[in-house]
Amino acid sequence: MLTNEEENADFWLQPETKTKMLKIVETELITKMAEVVSSKETGCVYMFQQKNLNELKLMFDVFRRDPTTFSLIIKKMTPYIEDRGKKIVMDEANVKDPYLFTEKLLEFKAEIDELVSFSFSNQMMF
Give the whole-angstrom CA distance, residue 3 versus residue 7: 6
Q: Where are the alpha helices (DSSP H) in 1-126?
A: 4-12, 15-26, 34-39, 44-50, 53-63, 70-90, 92-96, 98-119
Is the pTM higher than 0.75? yes
**Average pLDDT over every residue of 56-78:** 95
So what's the pLDDT on residue 6? 64
Nearest to 49, CA basis, from 84, 74, 82:
84
Determine if residue 13 is left, alpha or beta; phi over 0 gives left, psi from -120 to 50 gives alpha, anything else beta.
beta
Give the whole-angstrom CA distance, residue 44 versus residue 109: 19
Give the whole-angstrom CA distance, residue 105 versus residue 112: 11
Least confident segment among 19-23, 82-86, 112-116: 19-23
> Which phi and psi angles does 9 have, rounded to 5°?
-60, -40
Q: DSSP secondary-structure letter at 27?
A: I
- Condensed to tens digits (0 to 9), the pLDDT of residues 27-58 reads 998 999 999 999 999 899 999 999 999 999 99
Q: Which domains does the chain have, with CATH numbers?
A: 33-119 (1.20.1310)
